[in-house]
Structure 1
Amino acid sequence: MSEVTRVPLQPIAKGALSKLWLGIAVVALAAGGIAWAALPPSVDVTTLAEGTGPSPTSQDVALVNYKGMLPDGTVFDQGERAVFPLNEVVPGFARALSQMQRGGRYRAEIPAALAYGDEQVGDVPAGSDLTFEIELLDYRSRAEIEQQQRIMQQLQQMQGQQMQGMPGGMPPGAVPPGTGAPGEPPAGVPQP
Protein backbone atom coordinates (compact mmCIF):
# COMPACT_ATOMS: atom_id res chain seq x y z
CA MET A 1 0.00 0.00 0.00
CA SER A 2 1.26 3.43 -0.89
CA GLU A 3 1.25 6.21 1.51
CA VAL A 4 -0.66 9.42 0.83
CA THR A 5 1.16 12.58 1.51
CA ARG A 6 -1.01 15.03 3.22
CA VAL A 7 -0.58 18.71 2.65
CA PRO A 8 -2.42 20.93 5.04
CA LEU A 9 -4.63 23.56 3.39
CA GLN A 10 -3.78 27.07 4.29
CA PRO A 11 -6.68 29.25 5.37
CA ILE A 12 -7.84 31.78 2.77
CA ALA A 13 -6.64 35.23 3.61
CA LYS A 14 -9.29 37.68 4.62
CA GLY A 15 -10.75 39.39 1.50
CA ALA A 16 -9.04 36.97 -0.96
CA LEU A 17 -12.31 35.23 -1.80
CA SER A 18 -13.94 38.58 -2.60
CA LYS A 19 -10.99 39.48 -4.83
CA LEU A 20 -11.31 36.14 -6.62
CA TRP A 21 -15.02 36.69 -7.32
CA LEU A 22 -14.35 40.28 -8.39
CA GLY A 23 -11.69 39.03 -10.85
CA ILE A 24 -14.11 36.48 -12.30
CA ALA A 25 -16.79 39.19 -12.67
CA VAL A 26 -14.33 41.53 -14.44
CA VAL A 27 -13.32 38.80 -16.89
CA ALA A 28 -16.99 37.94 -17.57
CA LEU A 29 -17.90 41.60 -18.17
CA ALA A 30 -14.91 42.09 -20.46
CA ALA A 31 -15.87 39.01 -22.48
CA GLY A 32 -19.48 40.25 -22.71
CA GLY A 33 -18.31 43.69 -23.84
CA ILE A 34 -16.12 42.20 -26.54
CA ALA A 35 -18.99 40.01 -27.75
CA TRP A 36 -21.37 43.01 -27.74
CA ALA A 37 -18.88 45.13 -29.70
CA ALA A 38 -18.55 42.33 -32.27
CA LEU A 39 -22.31 42.28 -32.97
CA PRO A 40 -23.23 43.84 -36.29
CA PRO A 41 -25.00 47.18 -36.06
CA SER A 42 -28.78 46.99 -36.15
CA VAL A 43 -31.56 48.96 -37.76
CA ASP A 44 -34.27 50.34 -35.49
CA VAL A 45 -37.71 50.25 -37.09
CA THR A 46 -40.65 52.02 -35.45
CA THR A 47 -44.17 51.27 -36.66
CA LEU A 48 -46.17 54.44 -37.40
CA ALA A 49 -49.16 52.61 -38.95
CA GLU A 50 -49.66 48.84 -38.94
CA GLY A 51 -49.41 46.86 -42.16
CA THR A 52 -50.68 43.35 -42.88
CA GLY A 53 -49.34 40.07 -44.16
CA PRO A 54 -45.82 38.75 -44.47
CA SER A 55 -42.69 40.88 -44.93
CA PRO A 56 -40.57 41.11 -48.09
CA THR A 57 -37.41 39.04 -48.42
CA SER A 58 -34.05 39.84 -49.99
CA GLN A 59 -35.32 38.35 -53.28
CA ASP A 60 -38.29 40.74 -53.51
CA VAL A 61 -38.83 44.11 -55.15
CA ALA A 62 -40.63 46.73 -53.03
CA LEU A 63 -42.88 49.60 -54.10
CA VAL A 64 -42.62 52.40 -51.52
CA ASN A 65 -43.19 56.04 -50.70
CA TYR A 66 -40.17 57.27 -48.74
CA LYS A 67 -38.30 60.25 -47.33
CA GLY A 68 -34.63 60.03 -46.31
CA MET A 69 -33.24 62.45 -43.73
CA LEU A 70 -29.85 63.29 -42.25
CA PRO A 71 -29.37 63.48 -38.46
CA ASP A 72 -30.16 67.24 -38.52
CA GLY A 73 -33.51 66.58 -40.26
CA THR A 74 -32.37 67.70 -43.73
CA VAL A 75 -34.19 65.72 -46.43
CA PHE A 76 -31.60 64.29 -48.82
CA ASP A 77 -33.93 62.11 -50.91
CA GLN A 78 -37.60 61.26 -51.32
CA GLY A 79 -39.86 59.51 -53.74
CA GLU A 80 -43.35 58.27 -54.40
CA ARG A 81 -44.10 54.84 -55.83
CA ALA A 82 -40.38 54.14 -56.01
CA VAL A 83 -39.28 50.61 -56.89
CA PHE A 84 -36.42 49.06 -54.89
CA PRO A 85 -35.01 45.56 -55.37
CA LEU A 86 -34.05 44.64 -51.80
CA ASN A 87 -30.75 43.10 -52.87
CA GLU A 88 -29.69 46.31 -54.66
CA VAL A 89 -30.07 48.89 -51.85
CA VAL A 90 -27.85 49.71 -48.87
CA PRO A 91 -27.98 46.90 -46.29
CA GLY A 92 -29.79 49.00 -43.67
CA PHE A 93 -32.62 49.92 -46.06
CA ALA A 94 -33.05 46.26 -47.04
CA ARG A 95 -33.05 45.17 -43.37
CA ALA A 96 -35.66 47.82 -42.56
CA LEU A 97 -37.92 46.75 -45.45
CA SER A 98 -37.66 43.11 -44.37
CA GLN A 99 -39.27 44.11 -41.03
CA MET A 100 -42.27 45.82 -42.67
CA GLN A 101 -45.66 44.72 -43.93
CA ARG A 102 -47.82 45.84 -46.87
CA GLY A 103 -49.76 49.02 -46.21
CA GLY A 104 -47.71 49.95 -43.15
CA ARG A 105 -45.80 53.16 -42.47
CA TYR A 106 -42.52 53.07 -40.59
CA ARG A 107 -39.57 55.11 -39.37
CA ALA A 108 -36.20 53.40 -39.83
CA GLU A 109 -33.02 54.53 -38.07
CA ILE A 110 -30.04 53.24 -40.07
CA PRO A 111 -26.49 53.52 -38.67
CA ALA A 112 -23.79 54.77 -41.03
CA ALA A 113 -22.17 51.31 -41.11
CA LEU A 114 -25.33 49.94 -42.77
CA ALA A 115 -25.83 52.99 -45.01
CA TYR A 116 -22.97 54.59 -46.96
CA GLY A 117 -20.29 54.11 -44.29
CA ASP A 118 -17.28 56.40 -44.66
CA GLU A 119 -18.18 57.48 -48.21
CA GLN A 120 -19.91 60.71 -49.14
CA VAL A 121 -22.73 59.92 -51.55
CA GLY A 122 -24.54 62.89 -53.08
CA ASP A 123 -25.75 65.16 -50.27
CA VAL A 124 -25.06 62.51 -47.61
CA PRO A 125 -21.82 63.28 -45.73
CA ALA A 126 -19.46 60.42 -44.93
CA GLY A 127 -20.25 58.63 -41.67
CA SER A 128 -23.89 59.78 -41.54
CA ASP A 129 -26.60 57.87 -39.74
CA LEU A 130 -29.82 58.04 -41.77
CA THR A 131 -33.52 58.18 -40.93
CA PHE A 132 -36.18 57.06 -43.38
CA GLU A 133 -39.93 57.37 -43.26
CA ILE A 134 -41.21 54.53 -45.42
CA GLU A 135 -44.66 53.43 -46.54
CA LEU A 136 -44.55 49.90 -47.98
CA LEU A 137 -47.21 50.02 -50.69
CA ASP A 138 -46.58 46.57 -52.11
CA TYR A 139 -43.88 44.07 -53.03
CA ARG A 140 -43.43 41.24 -55.47
CA SER A 141 -40.89 38.52 -55.96
CA ARG A 142 -38.41 38.89 -58.82
CA ALA A 143 -39.96 35.81 -60.42
CA GLU A 144 -43.42 37.45 -60.44
CA ILE A 145 -42.04 40.64 -61.99
CA GLU A 146 -40.07 38.74 -64.63
CA GLN A 147 -43.21 36.74 -65.50
CA GLN A 148 -45.23 39.96 -65.86
CA GLN A 149 -42.52 41.42 -68.10
CA ARG A 150 -42.56 38.32 -70.32
CA ILE A 151 -46.36 38.54 -70.65
CA MET A 152 -46.14 42.24 -71.59
CA GLN A 153 -43.48 41.50 -74.21
CA GLN A 154 -45.61 38.71 -75.68
CA LEU A 155 -48.65 41.00 -75.83
CA GLN A 156 -46.61 43.70 -77.58
CA GLN A 157 -45.28 41.16 -80.09
CA MET A 158 -48.79 39.87 -80.78
CA GLN A 159 -50.09 43.41 -81.26
CA GLY A 160 -47.20 44.20 -83.61
CA GLN A 161 -47.94 41.05 -85.66
CA GLN A 162 -51.62 42.01 -85.89
CA MET A 163 -50.70 45.47 -87.16
CA GLN A 164 -48.40 43.99 -89.78
CA GLY A 165 -51.19 41.69 -90.95
CA MET A 166 -53.56 44.60 -91.69
CA PRO A 167 -53.95 45.38 -95.41
CA GLY A 168 -51.47 48.07 -96.29
CA GLY A 169 -50.16 48.11 -92.76
CA MET A 170 -50.64 51.21 -90.64
CA PRO A 171 -50.90 54.54 -92.44
CA PRO A 172 -48.05 56.95 -91.66
CA GLY A 173 -48.72 58.88 -88.46
CA ALA A 174 -51.57 56.56 -87.42
CA VAL A 175 -51.92 55.54 -83.81
CA PRO A 176 -52.58 51.84 -83.13
CA PRO A 177 -56.22 51.12 -82.24
CA GLY A 178 -57.11 51.62 -78.61
CA THR A 179 -54.32 54.11 -77.90
CA GLY A 180 -56.24 57.35 -78.56
CA ALA A 181 -57.95 59.35 -75.82
CA PRO A 182 -61.45 58.12 -74.90
CA GLY A 183 -64.10 59.69 -77.12
CA GLU A 184 -61.54 60.93 -79.68
CA PRO A 185 -60.88 59.26 -82.99
CA PRO A 186 -57.34 57.93 -83.40
CA ALA A 187 -54.78 60.13 -85.13
CA GLY A 188 -54.71 59.80 -88.91
CA VAL A 189 -58.49 59.32 -89.20
CA PRO A 190 -60.10 62.09 -91.28
CA GLN A 191 -62.50 64.31 -89.32
CA PRO A 192 -65.99 64.99 -90.76
Structure 2
Amino acid sequence: MQYSEPIKKLIANFSAMPGLGDKTAERLVFNLLKKNNKNTFIEFANALITVGKQIRHCKICNNYSEKPLCQICENMRRDKTKICVVAEAQDIICLEKTSVYHGLYHVLGGLIEPISNITPDKLNIKSLIERLNDKQIREIIFGLNPTIEGESTIIYIKKMIGQKFKNIKLTRLSRGLPMGADIEYADEITLSNAINNRSQL
Protein backbone atom coordinates (compact mmCIF):
# COMPACT_ATOMS: atom_id res chain seq x y z
CA MET A 1 0.00 0.00 0.00
CA GLN A 2 1.25 3.47 -0.92
CA TYR A 3 0.78 6.30 1.57
CA SER A 4 -0.71 9.57 0.36
CA GLU A 5 1.84 12.25 -0.50
CA PRO A 6 1.35 14.39 2.67
CA ILE A 7 1.83 11.32 4.89
CA LYS A 8 4.91 10.22 2.93
CA LYS A 9 6.46 13.68 3.34
CA LEU A 10 5.78 13.75 7.08
CA ILE A 11 7.28 10.25 7.53
CA ALA A 12 10.31 11.27 5.47
CA ASN A 13 10.87 14.35 7.65
CA PHE A 14 10.65 12.34 10.86
CA SER A 15 12.92 9.55 9.58
CA ALA A 16 15.56 12.13 8.56
CA MET A 17 16.13 12.91 12.24
CA PRO A 18 19.09 11.18 13.93
CA GLY A 19 18.02 8.03 15.78
CA LEU A 20 14.66 7.75 14.03
CA GLY A 21 14.29 5.04 11.42
CA ASP A 22 11.43 4.55 8.97
CA LYS A 23 9.43 2.31 11.33
CA THR A 24 9.64 4.75 14.24
CA ALA A 25 8.76 7.64 11.92
CA GLU A 26 5.70 5.75 10.67
CA ARG A 27 4.63 5.02 14.25
CA LEU A 28 4.88 8.69 15.22
CA VAL A 29 2.90 9.86 12.21
CA PHE A 30 0.14 7.31 12.68
CA ASN A 31 -0.09 8.11 16.38
CA LEU A 32 -0.74 11.71 15.38
CA LEU A 33 -3.30 10.62 12.80
CA LYS A 34 -4.97 8.32 15.31
CA LYS A 35 -5.82 11.29 17.53
CA ASN A 36 -7.88 12.63 14.62
CA ASN A 37 -7.53 16.15 15.99
CA LYS A 38 -6.59 18.99 13.65
CA ASN A 39 -5.56 21.14 16.61
CA THR A 40 -2.85 18.61 17.47
CA PHE A 41 -1.28 19.04 14.03
CA ILE A 42 -1.64 22.82 14.12
CA GLU A 43 -0.03 23.09 17.59
CA PHE A 44 2.77 20.74 16.54
CA ALA A 45 3.40 22.72 13.34
CA ASN A 46 3.33 26.03 15.20
CA ALA A 47 5.81 24.74 17.78
CA LEU A 48 8.21 23.71 14.99
CA ILE A 49 7.86 27.09 13.26
CA THR A 50 8.43 28.97 16.52
CA VAL A 51 11.57 26.99 17.32
CA GLY A 52 12.85 27.46 13.76
CA LYS A 53 12.32 31.23 13.90
CA GLN A 54 13.25 32.09 17.48
CA ILE A 55 15.93 29.67 18.67
CA ARG A 56 19.55 30.57 17.95
CA HIS A 57 23.01 29.76 19.32
CA CYS A 58 24.25 31.69 22.34
CA LYS A 59 27.08 33.88 21.04
CA ILE A 60 29.32 32.91 23.98
CA CYS A 61 28.81 29.20 24.69
CA ASN A 62 26.84 27.95 21.61
CA ASN A 63 23.96 26.69 23.75
CA TYR A 64 20.46 27.13 22.30
CA SER A 65 18.75 30.36 23.27
CA GLU A 66 15.93 32.75 22.36
CA LYS A 67 18.25 35.70 22.99
CA PRO A 68 21.86 36.52 21.99
CA LEU A 69 22.99 35.14 25.39
CA CYS A 70 21.56 32.01 26.98
CA GLN A 71 20.17 32.03 30.53
CA ILE A 72 23.36 30.52 31.95
CA CYS A 73 25.77 32.97 30.32
CA GLU A 74 23.75 36.02 31.37
CA ASN A 75 23.28 34.75 34.95
CA MET A 76 25.62 36.84 37.10
CA ARG A 77 25.43 34.31 39.94
CA ARG A 78 27.16 31.55 37.95
CA ASP A 79 30.76 30.68 38.81
CA LYS A 80 32.68 32.51 36.06
CA THR A 81 35.96 30.74 36.90
CA LYS A 82 34.88 27.37 35.47
CA ILE A 83 33.84 26.18 32.01
CA CYS A 84 32.45 22.70 31.48
CA VAL A 85 33.02 21.57 27.88
CA VAL A 86 30.23 19.39 26.49
CA ALA A 87 29.59 17.85 23.09
CA GLU A 88 25.93 18.80 22.67
CA ALA A 89 23.48 21.27 24.20
CA GLN A 90 21.34 18.49 25.69
CA ASP A 91 24.32 17.50 27.86
CA ILE A 92 23.91 20.82 29.68
CA ILE A 93 20.36 19.87 30.69
CA CYS A 94 21.60 16.58 32.15
CA LEU A 95 24.37 18.24 34.16
CA GLU A 96 22.10 21.05 35.36
CA LYS A 97 19.63 18.52 36.79
CA THR A 98 22.28 17.43 39.29
CA SER A 99 22.29 20.92 40.90
CA VAL A 100 25.96 20.30 41.70
CA TYR A 101 27.72 22.33 39.01
CA HIS A 102 27.27 26.11 38.98
CA GLY A 103 29.86 27.24 36.44
CA LEU A 104 29.63 28.07 32.74
CA TYR A 105 29.48 25.77 29.71
CA HIS A 106 30.85 25.52 26.20
CA VAL A 107 29.09 23.42 23.54
CA LEU A 108 31.43 21.93 20.93
CA GLY A 109 28.64 20.77 18.63
CA GLY A 110 30.02 17.23 18.41
CA LEU A 111 33.23 15.27 18.88
CA ILE A 112 36.27 14.77 16.67
CA GLU A 113 35.47 11.83 14.42
CA PRO A 114 37.59 11.75 11.23
CA ILE A 115 35.82 8.65 9.90
CA SER A 116 32.62 10.74 9.76
CA ASN A 117 34.52 13.76 8.44
CA ILE A 118 34.10 15.65 11.74
CA THR A 119 37.43 17.44 12.08
CA PRO A 120 38.46 20.00 14.75
CA ASP A 121 37.75 22.95 12.44
CA LYS A 122 34.08 21.86 12.24
CA LEU A 123 33.64 22.08 16.02
CA ASN A 124 33.43 25.12 18.31
CA ILE A 125 36.99 24.70 19.55
CA LYS A 126 38.41 28.00 18.33
CA SER A 127 35.74 29.96 20.22
CA LEU A 128 36.55 27.97 23.37
CA ILE A 129 40.24 28.90 23.15
CA GLU A 130 39.26 32.55 22.60
CA ARG A 131 37.16 32.49 25.78
CA LEU A 132 40.24 31.56 27.79
CA ASN A 133 41.63 35.06 27.26
CA ASP A 134 39.23 36.01 30.05
CA LYS A 135 41.52 36.08 33.08
CA GLN A 136 38.67 34.85 35.32
CA ILE A 137 38.80 31.34 33.84
CA ARG A 138 40.76 29.01 36.13
CA GLU A 139 39.42 25.55 35.29
CA ILE A 140 38.22 23.68 32.22
CA ILE A 141 36.13 20.59 32.98
CA PHE A 142 35.73 18.08 30.18
CA GLY A 143 32.19 16.73 30.33
CA LEU A 144 32.55 14.58 27.23
CA ASN A 145 31.37 11.02 26.67
CA PRO A 146 33.96 8.39 27.69
CA THR A 147 34.35 7.10 24.12
CA ILE A 148 37.24 6.99 21.66
CA GLU A 149 35.86 10.15 20.04
CA GLY A 150 35.54 11.85 23.42
CA GLU A 151 39.10 10.92 24.39
CA SER A 152 40.46 12.13 21.03
CA THR A 153 38.68 15.46 21.47
CA ILE A 154 40.04 15.91 25.01
CA ILE A 155 43.60 15.19 23.86
CA TYR A 156 43.32 17.70 21.02
CA ILE A 157 41.85 20.51 23.13
CA LYS A 158 44.28 19.83 25.99
CA LYS A 159 47.17 20.32 23.57
CA MET A 160 45.64 23.55 22.22
CA ILE A 161 45.13 24.98 25.72
CA GLY A 162 48.54 23.88 26.95
CA GLN A 163 50.31 25.85 24.21
CA LYS A 164 49.06 29.19 25.53
CA PHE A 165 47.25 28.85 28.85
CA LYS A 166 49.51 26.85 31.13
CA ASN A 167 47.94 28.12 34.38
CA ILE A 168 44.45 26.85 33.64
CA LYS A 169 43.52 23.67 35.49
CA LEU A 170 42.21 20.87 33.25
CA THR A 171 39.91 18.25 34.76
CA ARG A 172 37.49 15.58 33.55
CA LEU A 173 34.42 13.90 34.96
CA SER A 174 35.36 10.92 37.09
CA ARG A 175 35.32 7.38 35.77
CA GLY A 176 31.94 6.73 37.36
CA LEU A 177 30.69 6.91 33.80
CA PRO A 178 31.34 3.57 32.06
CA MET A 179 33.44 3.53 28.89
CA GLY A 180 31.28 4.10 25.84
CA ALA A 181 28.43 5.66 27.83
CA ASP A 182 26.49 8.77 26.81
CA ILE A 183 26.18 11.57 29.38
CA GLU A 184 22.68 12.14 28.06
CA TYR A 185 21.53 8.78 29.46
CA ALA A 186 23.38 8.83 32.80
CA ASP A 187 21.33 9.20 35.98
CA GLU A 188 21.65 12.28 38.19
CA ILE A 189 23.47 10.49 41.05
CA THR A 190 26.12 9.12 38.68
CA LEU A 191 26.61 12.54 37.12
CA SER A 192 26.77 14.26 40.51
CA ASN A 193 29.51 11.86 41.62
CA ALA A 194 31.31 12.29 38.30
CA ILE A 195 31.38 16.08 38.79
CA ASN A 196 32.35 16.06 42.46
CA ASN A 197 35.07 13.44 41.97
CA ARG A 198 36.50 14.88 38.75
CA SER A 199 40.17 14.17 38.19
CA GLN A 200 42.97 16.41 36.95
CA LEU A 201 44.47 15.78 33.52
Q: Give the TM bin, normalised by the shorter chain.
A: under 0.3
Which of 1 and 2 has higher RCO (CA within 8 Å, sep 6+)? 1
TM-score scaled by length of structure 1: 0.21
Bigger share in helix: 2
Q: Greater share of strand residues, 1 or 2?
A: 1
Question: TM-score, normalised to structure 2's length?
Answer: 0.21
